[in-house]
Amino acid sequence: TSIEFEKKLAAKEAVKLLSDGQTVGLGSGSTAGYAIREIGKLVKNGLQIRAIPTSDHSRDLAASLAIPLVDINSVDTIDITIDGADEFDPSLDLIKGGGGALLREKIVAAMTTDLIIIVDSAKKVEVLGAFKLPIEVIPFASSFVLRRITNLNGEGTVRMAGATEYLTDEGNYIIDATFGPIRDPSSLATELNGIEGLVGHGLFVQMARKVIMGVDSTTKTFEA
Ligand code: DER
């Protein structure tokens, strides 16, 4: 489909930013998956990098492509991370977490000098919020956090995997929440950060350095 083609275009453009000696964050989701495959080709052709994956799935994909991996706890900073997003607005604020990897993604992003977001053209929005905001909670706090989301005029539901709750790589639940148009992502992020037992959310506020969007048969780059 044109969406998948656009994802591949963005991924191919983003990996041009990689160079020998870098520590590279590997994102999660289908678009980041295309980038990991491209990086596997570059490594096969001699690119010297060490990578930190943002999910067990991305770790396994990278390992299968012989991309050298390093433990995140042995690294201070990450030079560049290539990751996807579910939405981006004109300020390059993001909603992430559609794939459930938002907590590790945000930690890697926080350690990263240049966060490069790769998207298809359907991810571009004027205002965040059409996509439900993923929120990661410890199971012990899930009902409490649901009530606090209601207090913030949101409406959340616990993400299911068949008949049981979806579990993240960290063993937590995901609540997908609607808040209507999110015109002030920073304020909502601050409110969410104050809720006990809420360990992550998909608002990535002023974290992206660039967004590379595949569109039709080309790419368009947005810069913060
Ligand atoms: O879960 C995530 O944060 C992913 O990056 C997601 O936001 C994008 O997934 P996609 O590339 O499969 O659309």
Strands (E), the chain: 23-26, 50-53, 78-83, 87-88, 94-95, 112-120, 133-137, 155-158, 160-161, 164-165, 173-178, 198-201, 203-204, 210-215, 218-223
Neighbour order of strands in the sheet with 94-95: 87-88, 94-95, 203-204
Identify the active-site residue in 38, 87, 105, 136: 105
pLDDT tens-digit profile of 28-59? 999 999 999 999 999 999 999 999 999 999 99
- pLDDT (0 to 100) of residue 1: 80
Q: Position 164: which residue type?
A: T
Closest of 125, 107, 117 to residue 182, by C-alpha:
125
Spatial strand order of the sheet with 133-137 comes to 155-158, 173-178, 133-137, 198-201
The residues facing 159 across adjacent strands are: none
Q: What residue's CA is closest to ligand 1, atom 2?
A: 97
Written as tens digits, the pLDDT of the chain (224 aa) is 899 999 999 999 999 999 999 999 999 999 999 999 999 999 999 999 999 999 999 999 999 999 999 999 999 999 999 999 999 999 999 999 999 999 999 999 999 999 999 999 999 999 999 999 999 999 999 999 999 999 999 999 999 999 999 999 999 999 999 999 999 999 999 999 999 999 999 999 999 999 999 999 999 999 97
Q: How far is CA 155 from the centre of its chain?
A: 22
CA–centroid distance, residue 98 to ligand 1 (Å)? 5
Q: What is the torsion angle, in degrees rounded to the nearest 10, for the CA atoms of residue 79, residue 126, residue 9 and residue 24?
A: 10
The token pair that represents 191 in the structure block: 């409110």
* Pairing mode of beta strands 78-83, 112-120: parallel
3-state secondary structure of 122: helix
What's the confidence (pLDDT) of residue 224? 79
pLDDT 10s digits, 54-94: 999 999 999 999 999 999 999 999 999 999 999 999 999 99
pTM over 0.90: yes
* ipTM score over 0.95, yes or no: yes
* Cβ–Cβ under 8 Å, residues 135 and 103: no
Q: Is 25 annotated as a binding residue?
A: no
Residue 85, annotated ligand binder?
Answer: yes
